[in-house]
Chains A and B, each alone.
Chain A
Amino acid sequence: MAGMELLSDQGYRLDGRKATELRKVQARMGVFAQADGSAYLEQGNTKALAVVYGPHEMRGSRSRALHDRAVINCQYSMATFSTAERKRRPHGDQKSTEMSLHLKQTFEAAVMTQLYPRSQIDIYVKILQSDGGNYSVCVNAATLAVIDAGIPMRDYVCACSVGFVDETPLADLCYAEESGGLSSLALALLPRSGQIALLQMDARLHQDHLEALIEAAMTACKGSSVPRLQDRVTADDNMGLLSDPNRRRALINLLTRLNSPICMICYMAGVAWFMGLAFEPFTLRTYMSENAMGSTMVEERFPAGERALATGREFAAHKKKTGGMPADWLVRTMQARGLEVFTQSFSRTLPFPDENKERYMVKGTNVYGILRAPRAPRTEALVLSARCSPGDDNNQAVGLLLGLAQYFRGQIYLAKDIIFLVNEHDLIGMQAWLEGYHHTNTTGMDWSPLQGRGGSIQAALSLELSHDLITSLDLVLEGLNGQLPNLDLANLFYAFCQKIGVLCTIQGKLQRNDWDSVSGYSHAVQTMMLMVMKQASGRPWGDHGLFLRYHIEAATIKGINSFRQYKTDATTVGRLLEGMYRKLNNLLERLHQSYFFYLMPSLSHFVSIGYYMPAFGLLAVILLLRALDLWVQLVTPPPRTEDGVIDIEQSNPGVLSVMTPLVISHLTGVALYLLPIRFQELAVEHFPVSETEAVVLTAIAVYTAGLALPHNTHRLLSGEGTEQGWKVLKLVAVLYLAVLLGCTALINFSLGFILALTLVPVAAFVTPHVPKVLSAFVLVILSPACTLLFSVFFFQELQEIPVSFQEGWVLYLSVISQGILDHCLYGSLVYPLIALLVYPCWLLFWNILFWK
Chain B
Amino acid sequence: MAAHRCVSSALLVFVCVLSVFTVARSQETTPPGGHGAPATDGPQTVTETTGQTAGQPAAEERRWEATEVKEATPDESAAEEQEAPAADTAAPSAGPRPKDDFQEELVIRPLHSGDIYASFQFRTLWETDFTRENKVSHYRLFPKSLGQVISKFSVRELHISFTQGYWRTMQWGQPYQPSPPGAELWVWFQDSVTDVDETWKELTNVLSGIFCASLNFIDSTNTVQPSASFKPLGIVNVTDHRFLRYATLPREIVCTENLTPWKKLLPCGSKAGLAVLMKSEKLFHSSFHSQAVHIRPVSPTSWELRQTLNVVFDLHTSGQGKREWSLFKMFSRTLTEACPLASSSKIYVDVTDNPQGEQFELSPATPLLSQEVVLGDRRTFSVYDLTQQITFGTVRSLNLLIRWKSSEGDMLRPLLHGERYVAGYGLQTGEIHTLMYNYHPYRSFPVLLLDSVPWYLRLYIHTLTVTSKGKDNKPSYIHYQPSKDRLRPHLLEMLVQLPPNSVTEVTVQFERALLKWTEYTPDPNHGFYVGSSVISSLVPSIVAMDTNITQERPLFSSFFPCKEESSYFVRVYTEPLLVNLPTPDFSMPYNVICLTCTVVAVGYGSLYNLLTRSFQIEEPSPGLAKRLANIIRRMRGVPPL
Docked-complex contact B287 and A375, CB < 8 angstroms: yes
Task: Tell me if A338 is interfacial: C-beta within 8 Å of chain B.
Answer: yes
Docked-complex contact B617 and A21, CB < 8 angstroms: yes
| A589, B170: Cα distance in complex, Å | 29
Max chain A Cβ within 10 angstroms of own Cβ: one of B433, B587, B606 = B587
Docked-complex contact B587 and A593, CB < 8 angstroms: yes
A488 to chain B, nearest CB (A): 12
| Binary CB contact string for chain B from 239 to 268 against chain A (1 if under 8 A, 0 otherwise) | 000000000001000000000000000000
Task: Tell me if A438 is interfacial: C-beta within 8 Å of chain B.
Answer: yes
Task: Tell me if A257 is interfacial: C-beta within 8 Å of chain B.
Answer: no
- Chain A positions 446-470 with a Cβ under 8 Å from a chain B Cβ: 453, 455-456
Which residues of B are found within 8 Å of A340, using beta-carbon distances? Answer: 170-171
Docked-complex contact B424 and A439, CB < 8 angstroms: yes
Task: Tell me if A592 is interfacial: C-beta within 8 Å of chain B.
Answer: yes
Docked-complex contact A24 and B425, CB < 8 angstroms: no
Docked-complex contact B575 and A378, CB < 8 angstroms: yes
Docked-complex contact B578 and A410, CB < 8 angstroms: no
Which one of B171, B425, B615 contacts A438 once the chains associate, using CB atoms below 8 Å?
B425
Which one of A21, A412, A455 contacts B575 once the chains associate, using CB atoms below 8 Å?
A455
Which one of A225, A242, A550 contacts B615 once the chains associate, using CB atoms below 8 Å?
A225
Docked-complex contact A590 and B525, CB < 8 angstroms: yes
Given contacts A410-B316, A453-B419, contact A377 B617 (CB under 8 A): no
Docked-complex contact A439 and B423, CB < 8 angstroms: yes
Task: Tell me if A214 is interfacial: C-beta within 8 Å of chain B.
Answer: no
| A440, B577: Cα distance in complex, Å | 18
How many residue pairs at the A-B interface have CB separations less than 8 Å? 105
Q: Closest chain B residue to A414 by CB distance?
A: B317
Which residues of B are found within 8 Å of A549, using beta-carbon distances? Answer: 425
Docked-complex contact B425 and A411, CB < 8 angstroms: no
| Binary CB contact string for chain B from 416 to 448 against chain A (1 if under 8 A, 0 otherwise) | 000101111111000101000000000000000
Q: Closest chain B residue to A455 by CB distance?
A: B578
Which residues of B are found within 8 Å of A455, using beta-carbon distances? Answer: 421, 575, 577-578
Which residues of B are found within 8 Å of A378, using beta-carbon distances? Answer: 166, 181, 575-576
Task: Tell me if A374 is interfacial: C-beta within 8 Å of chain B.
Answer: yes
Which residues of B are found within 8 Å of A229, using beta-carbon distances? Answer: 615
B523 to chain A, nearest CB (A): 5
Docked-complex contact A377 and B165, CB < 8 angstroms: yes
Docked-complex contact B576 and A438, CB < 8 angstroms: no
Task: Tell me if A28 is interfacial: C-beta within 8 Å of chain B.
Answer: no
Which one of B181, B316, B525 contacts A589 once the chains associate, using CB atoms below 8 Å?
B525
Docked-complex contact B615 and A24, CB < 8 angstroms: yes
| Binary CB contact string for chain B from 602 to 630 against chain A (1 if under 8 A, 0 otherwise) | 00001001100011110000000000000
Which residues of B are found within 8 Å of A593, using beta-carbon distances? Answer: 587
Q: Closest chain A residue to B426 by CB distance?
A: A551
| A439, B425: Cα distance in complex, Å | 9
| A340, B423: Cα distance in complex, Å | 21
A16 to chain B, nearest CB (A): 13
| A24, B614: Cα distance in complex, Å | 7
| A784, B424: Cα distance in complex, Å | 34
Docked-complex contact A377 and B526, CB < 8 angstroms: no
Docked-complex contact B421 and A409, CB < 8 angstroms: no
Which one of A241, A439, A551 contacts B421 once the chains associate, using CB atoms below 8 Å?
A439
| A590, B527: Cα distance in complex, Å | 8
Chain B interface residue count, Cβ-Cβ cutoff 8 angstroms: 51
Which residues of A are found within 8 Å of B250, using beta-carbon distances? Answer: 377
Q: Closest chain A residue to B431 by CB distance?
A: A439
Which residues of B are found within 8 Å of A588, using beta-carbon distances? Answer: 523, 526
Task: Tell me if A380 is interfacial: C-beta within 8 Å of chain B.
Answer: yes
Which residues of A are found within 8 Å of B529, using beta-carbon distances? Answer: 379
Which one of B286, B421, B426, B525 contacts A592 once the chains associate, using CB atoms below 8 Å?
B525
Docked-complex contact A590 and B580, CB < 8 angstroms: yes
Given contacts A379-B575, A590-B580, contact A374 B287 (CB under 8 A): yes
| A228, B166: Cα distance in complex, Å | 81
Which residues of B are found within 8 Å of A453, using beta-carbon distances? Answer: 419, 421
- Chain A positions 365-388 with a Cβ under 8 Å from a chain B Cβ: 372, 374-380
Which residues of B are found within 8 Å of A180, using beta-carbon distances? Answer: none
A822 to chain B, nearest CB (A): 18
Q: Closest chain B residue to A587 by CB distance?
A: B526
| A228, B419: Cα distance in complex, Å | 79
| A440, B430: Cα distance in complex, Å | 10
Max chain B Cβ within 10 angstroms of own Cβ: one of A378, A380, A550 = A378
Which one of A224, A338, A377 contacts B166 once the chains associate, using CB atoms below 8 Å?
A377
| A742, B156: Cα distance in complex, Å | 66
| A377, B617: Cα distance in complex, Å | 76
Task: Tell me if B306 is interfacial: C-beta within 8 Å of chain A.
Answer: no
| Binary CB contact string for chain A from 13 to 37 against chain B (1 if under 8 A, 0 otherwise) | 0000000011011000000000000
Which residues of A are found within 8 Å of B419, using beta-carbon distances? Answer: 453
Which one of A223, A374, A550, A590 contacts B317 once the chains associate, using CB atoms below 8 Å?
A374
| A374, B583: Cα distance in complex, Å | 29
Task: Tell me if B117 is interfacial: C-beta within 8 Å of chain A.
Answer: no
Task: Tell me if B289 is interfacial: C-beta within 8 Å of chain A.
Answer: yes
| Binary CB contact string for chain B from 565 to 585 against chain A (1 if under 8 A, 0 otherwise) | 000000000011111100101
Q: Closest chain B residue to A229 by CB distance?
A: B615
Task: Tell me if B377 is interfacial: C-beta within 8 Å of chain A.
Answer: no
| A551, B427: Cα distance in complex, Å | 9
| A409, B523: Cα distance in complex, Å | 29
A378 to chain B, nearest CB (A): 4
Docked-complex contact A374 and B286, CB < 8 angstroms: yes
Which one of B287, B314, B578, B587 contacts A456 once the chains associate, using CB atoms below 8 Å?
B578
| A467, B289: Cα distance in complex, Å | 43
B278 to chain A, nearest CB (A): 16
| A439, B431: Cα distance in complex, Å | 9
Docked-complex contact B317 and A456, CB < 8 angstroms: no
Docked-complex contact A589 and B166, CB < 8 angstroms: no
| A241, B609: Cα distance in complex, Å | 11
B611 to chain A, nearest CB (A): 10
Which residues of A are found within 8 Å of B422, using beta-carbon distances? Answer: 456
Docked-complex contact A409 and B614, CB < 8 angstroms: no
Which residues of A are found within 8 Å of B526, using beta-carbon distances? Answer: 588-590
Docked-complex contact B575 and A374, CB < 8 angstroms: no
Q: Closest chain B residue to A289 by CB distance?
A: B587
Docked-complex contact B165 and A376, CB < 8 angstroms: yes
| A410, B419: Cα distance in complex, Å | 26
Given contacts A24-B614, A338-B316, contact A374 B423 (CB under 8 A): no
Which residues of A are found within 8 Å of B575, using beta-carbon distances? Answer: 377-379, 455
Which residues of B are found within 8 Å of A338, using beta-carbon distances? Answer: 316
Which one of A225, A241, A440 contacts B425 once the chains associate, using CB atoms below 8 Å?
A440
- Chain A positions 197-242 with a Cβ under 8 Å from a chain B Cβ: 223-225, 228-229, 241-242
Which residues of A are found within 8 Å of B231, using beta-carbon distances? Answer: none
| A480, B525: Cα distance in complex, Å | 23
Task: Tell me if B222 is interfacial: C-beta within 8 Å of chain A.
Answer: no
Which residues of A are found within 8 Å of B286, using beta-carbon distances? Answer: 374-375
| A709, B168: Cα distance in complex, Å | 66
| A549, B164: Cα distance in complex, Å | 32
Docked-complex contact B166 and A25, CB < 8 angstroms: no
Task: Tell me if B360 is interfacial: C-beta within 8 Å of chain A.
Answer: no
A24-B614, A379-B527 are known; give 15 further A-B pairs, CB within 8 A: A22-B617, A225-B615, A228-B615, A242-B609, A374-B165, A375-B164, A377-B181, A379-B529, A379-B576, A379-B577, A380-B578, A409-B317, A439-B423, A455-B577, A549-B425
8 shortest interchain CB distances as A-B pairs: A439-B423, A377-B181, A589-B525, A375-B165, A379-B578, A225-B615, A378-B575, A375-B164
Q: Which residues of A contact B (CB under 8 A)?
A: 21-22, 24-25, 223-225, 228-229, 241-242, 338, 340, 372, 374-380, 409-412, 438-440, 453, 455-456, 549-551, 588-590, 592-593
Q: Which residues of B contact A (CB under 8 A)?
A: 164-166, 168, 170-171, 181-182, 250, 284-289, 314, 316-318, 419, 421-427, 431, 433, 523-527, 529, 575-580, 583, 585, 587, 606, 609-610, 614-617
16 contacts between A and B (CB under 8 A): A224-B617, A242-B610, A338-B316, A375-B289, A379-B527, A379-B578, A410-B316, A412-B317, A412-B318, A438-B423, A440-B423, A440-B424, A455-B578, A588-B523, A588-B526, A592-B585
